């Protein structure tokens, strides 16, 4: 970890992995609101790419959040239909 002007900064393996992980988490958040299948799948792929690029923790968080968002939406949609 680096200290920058008294603020702890956690370093990610590389900047591209961080961007993919952020995109995966953003897609997971959007999957809760609109188009869960589309954004859930995009979030899963972005999280997997981030994991593959070296952002292990953030990539796993993106994959988990995306899958969780899709499962929650399927459960809620099933409740609305039944």
Kindly state the percentage of the chain with pLDDT values over 70.
83
Tell me the pTM: 0.76
Query: Residue 16: its pLDDT value, please?
Result: 83
Give 82's pLDDT tier (boundaries 50, 70, 90).
Answer: low
- pLDDT the model gives residue 17: 87
Separation CA 47–CA 40 (nearest Å): 10
What are the domain boundaries of the chain? 13-81
**Over the stretch 19-62, which tens digit does the pLDDT of each residue have?**
888 999 999 999 988 888 899 999 999 999 999 988 888 889 99
* Separation between Cα atoms, residue 22 and residue 17, nearest integer Å: 9
CB-based contact 27:48 (threshold 8 Å): no
Helix (H, G, I), strand (E, B) or coil at 46: helix
- The SS3 call for residue 32 is helix
């Amino acid at each position: 970890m680096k200290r920058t002007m008294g603020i702890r900064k956690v370093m990610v393996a590389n900047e591209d992995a961080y961007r993919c992980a952020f995109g995966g988490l953003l897609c997971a958040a959007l999957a809760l609101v609109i188009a869960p299948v589309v954004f859930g799948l995009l979030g899963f792929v972005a999280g997997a790419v981030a994991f593959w690029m070296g952002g292990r923790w953030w990539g796993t968080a993106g994959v988990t959040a995306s899958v969780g968002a899709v499962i929650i939406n399927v459960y809620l949609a099933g409740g609305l239909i039944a």
